[in-house]
């Protein structure tokens, strides 16, 4: 499942990403398990400012999200789309949404930590691997980034497993700090151990 918003891209400095892909739950919005209710959508601290900074610089924005509630019969694609619309009402438009509707045992290639969602997003956006970053709150997000060959930044929260934090190549305390690190407009936050 995907949805693209066509837009005009401007040139960005070579050191910056041309696209940043975000996990949805626990990264952009509060993690409400199997949420199909738009009224329960609450932005994470700093998410709006982070996205605004990227939009100001003409960087493409996408969401790559596992939504196994569809496979489990807890959500419909229409529920997921209603939440997407509410996220965009609160945080602004994204260039692309790519959602995996499969369950953990379905063996698909799109469910994170597999790289399929990221590969699909990059194909639609026409962005190179070395000009893409993924920001997420759990190990599966940064593992998918690594598997796809793109930079991953972990923004842990209270639900993130400490072992995933230890294993991450780069962490940041907030989504805004992660974006500032990508743009080089603030001191690196968290651990910077390469890509």
CATH topology of domain 2-183: Rossmann fold (3.40.50)
**pLDDT for 122:** 96
**pLDDT for 28:** 98
**pLDDT for 8:** 46
The full set of domain ranges for the chain reads 2-183
Q: Residues in the chain with pLDDT < 70?
A: 1-12, 186-195
Active centre residues (catalytic): 23, 25
**pLDDT for 11:** 61
Per DSSP, helices labelled H in 20-135 are 47-56, 77-91, 116-125
Closest residue by Cα to residue 53 from 179, 175, 190: 179
**pLDDT for 138:** 97
CA atoms 64, 100, 146, 166: torsion sign: positive
**pLDDT for 185:** 83
Q: Is the pTM of this model over 0.75?
A: yes
């Amino acid at each position: 499942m995907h949805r693209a918003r066509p837009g005009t891209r401007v040139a960005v400095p070579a050191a910056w990403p041309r696209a940043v892909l975000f996990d949805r739950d626990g990264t952009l919005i509060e993690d409400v398990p199997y949420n199909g209710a738009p009224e329960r959508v609450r932005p994470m601290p700093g998410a709006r400012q982070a996205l605004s900074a990227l939009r100001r610089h003409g960087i493409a924005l996408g969401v790559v999200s596992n939504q196994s509630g569809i496979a489990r019969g807890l959500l419909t694609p229409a529920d997921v789309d209603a939440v997407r619309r509410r996220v965009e009402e609160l945080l602004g438009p994204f260039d692309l949404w790519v959602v995996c509707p499969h369950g953990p045992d379905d063996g698909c290639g799109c469910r994170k930590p597999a790289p399929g969602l990221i590969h699909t997003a990059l194909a639609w956006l026409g962005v190179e691997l070395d000009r893409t970053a993924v920001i997420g709150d759990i190990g599966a997000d940064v593992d998918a980034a690594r598997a796809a060959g793109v930079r991953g930044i972990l923004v842990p929260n209270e639900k993130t497993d400490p072992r995933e934090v230890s294993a991450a190549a780069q962490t940041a305390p907030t989504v805004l700090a992660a974006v500032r690190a990508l743009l080089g407009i603030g001191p690196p936050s968290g651990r910077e151990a390469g890509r």
